[in-house]
């Protein structure tokens, strides 16, 4: 450990379900094995899953209280374990890293880590490490995360932050960014294919608009509330070619299909509409709207998980051959690819920043559902 480090740090703790966070001063955590790295947290972004966890809707998580949330954060390496692993040594003191939360202390031995899963380029890492390890901890979910001044992370889960990107820009990409980027990759689309994003003004959606345009697809954004609709329209107006953004309250999906079909010179219903949709809201109406937008043989990627699930009309999967798949995050390889893609193409989250001490105010703002992302910026004083 460096002698310059303080003995204690400020951290926002969740002490029980349904409770606000409490700011506490606690001892600095220490690296306990060769892959461990202590980082000084520079930015920590709030994800919908932080809310779900705090409401007790993830059985068994966190493993214990008090708990530090946040599984999408960014920081600077300040110390290693006394005998660091090869993977940890790569990150020198002062290196800036993004932390996705997933797969802290991956076991290296389970079927996921041994890479025995079906071929899935979005999930696949080198043999010996998987973000889907069945025995791993997850920062911010099972174990402590980023709503604190320092955190211990696993070198194998990290991604180096590109030079032209700040920590506040990188943090929201560590869950929201990689999730929507991975979902888009799972669509398996070709250039100029049509993709729709349900919930296009939300935390994931407004990033998805940017990624999908930069990936060369023709993009439709769908929203059904005023504030996120304005976010989606604002993002769309800065993209080229500009994605079409529709208000699902004002336009029927079947009418949008006719418009797209006319643009493509198609006369048969099965050829009209989108090649893929990504469903982000926890809403049956959004799911149904997305299914209607698809062409025959289209693909529906589900990223949200409403408590009561989604109702599927089996005629869509039987007669129209719609494929419904889910998507979680992406491998460490895809995480790095996403970060470099974001740096290269200028993809950034629209975000508002708060000091660590005002995390509960951030959560209040989150519930106003205005779209974009909310981030704790450690450089801000309360």
| Number of Cβ atoms within 10 Å of the Cβ of 243 | 25
Q: What SS3 class is residue 60? A: coil
* The one among 5, 23, 52, 110 contacting Zn ion by CB under 5 A: 110
Per-residue binding string, Zn ion, 216-255, x by CB under 5 A, is: ----------------------------------------
* CB-nearer residue toward Zn ion: 217 or 354: 354
With a CB cutoff of 8 Å and minimum separation 6, the contacts of 329 are: 100, 102, 131, 175, 178, 179, 182, 335
Q: Give the footprint of Zn ion on residues 157-176 (CB under 5 A).
A: 175
* CB-nearer residue toward Zn ion: 89 or 109: 109
Q: How many Å separate Cα 375 from the centre of its chain?
A: 13
Rounded to 5°, the CA angle 210-76-37 comes to 110
Q: Does 280 participate in binding Zn ion (rule CB under 5 A)?
A: no
> Phi/psi at 65 (nearest 5 deg)?
-110, 150
* The one among 12, 49, 138, 148 contacting Zn ion by CB under 5 A: 49
Q: Identify which range of 104-112, 189-197, 218-226, 239-247 contacts Zn ion by CB under 5 A.
A: 104-112
CB of 66 to Zn ion, least distance (A): 20
Q: Crossing angle for the helix pair 176-186 and 332-345, nearest 10 degrees?
A: 100
The site for Zn ion, by CB under 5 A, has a size of 8
Q: Does 47 participate in binding Zn ion (rule CB under 5 A)?
A: yes
* CB-nearer residue toward Zn ion: 5 or 110: 110
CB of 230 to Zn ion, least distance (A): 24
Concatenate the DSSP letters of all residues of 253-307 into one string: HHHHHHHHHHHTT--SGGGSSEEEEEE-SS-HHHHHHHHHHEEEEEEEEE----T
* The one among 61, 95, 107, 328 contacting Zn ion by CB under 5 A: 107
* CB-nearer residue toward Zn ion: 5 or 328: 328
Q: Does 133 participate in binding Zn ion (rule CB under 5 A)?
A: yes
Range list of H helices, the chain: 48-54, 86-89, 167-170, 176-186, 205-214, 226-237, 253-263, 284-293, 314-318, 332-345, 359-366
CB of 53 to Zn ion, least distance (A): 10
Which positions lie near Zn ion, rule CB under 5 A?
47, 49, 106-107, 110, 113, 133, 175
């Amino acid at each position: 450990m460096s002698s310059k480090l303080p003995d204690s740090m400020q951290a926002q703790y969740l002490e029980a379900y349904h409770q606000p966070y409490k700011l506490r001063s606690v001892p600095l955590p220490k690296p306990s094995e060769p892959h461990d790295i202590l980082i000084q947290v520079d930015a920590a972004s709030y994800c919908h899953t932080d809310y779900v966890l705090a409401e007790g809707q993830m059985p068994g998580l966190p493993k214990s209280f008090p708990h530090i949330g946040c599984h999408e954060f960014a920081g600077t390496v300040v110390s290693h374990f006394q005998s660091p692993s090869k993977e940890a040594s790569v990150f020198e003191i002062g290196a800036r890293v993004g932390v996705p939360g997933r797969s802290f202390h991956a076991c290296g031995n389970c079927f996921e880590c041994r890479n025995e899963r079906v071929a899935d380029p979005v999930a696949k890492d080198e043999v010996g490490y998987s973000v889907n390890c069945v025995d791993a901890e997850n920062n911010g979910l099972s174990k402590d995360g980023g709503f604190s001044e320092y955190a211990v992370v696993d070198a194998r889960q990290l991604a180096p932050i590109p030079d032209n990107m700040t920590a506040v820009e990188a943090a929201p990409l560590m869950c929201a960014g990689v999730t929507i980027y991975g979902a888009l990759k799972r669509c398996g689309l070709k250039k100029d294919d049509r993709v729709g994003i349900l919930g296009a003004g939300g935390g994931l959606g407004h990033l998805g608009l940017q990624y999908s345009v930069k990936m060369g697809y023709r993009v439709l954004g769908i929203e059904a509330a005023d504030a996120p609709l304005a976010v989606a329209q604002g993002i769309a107006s800065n993209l080229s070619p500009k994605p079409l953004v529709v208000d699902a309250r004002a336009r029927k999906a079947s009418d949008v299909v006719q418009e797209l079909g006319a643009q493509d010179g198609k006369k048969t219903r099965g050829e009209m509409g989108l090649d893929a949709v990504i469903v982000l809201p926890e809403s049956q109406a959004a799911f149904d709207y997305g299914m209607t937008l698809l062409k025959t043989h289209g693909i529906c990627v589900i990223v949200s998980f409403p408590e009561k699930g989604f109702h599927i009309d089996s005629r869509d999967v039987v007669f129209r051959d719609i494929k419904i798949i889910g998507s979680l995050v992406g491998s460490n390889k895809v995480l790095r690819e996403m970060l470099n893609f974001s740096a290269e193409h200028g993809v950034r989250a629209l975000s508002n920043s708060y000091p660590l001490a005002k995390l509960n105010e951030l959560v209040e703002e989150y519930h106003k559902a205005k779209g974009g992302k909310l981030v704790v910026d450690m450089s801000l004083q309360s």
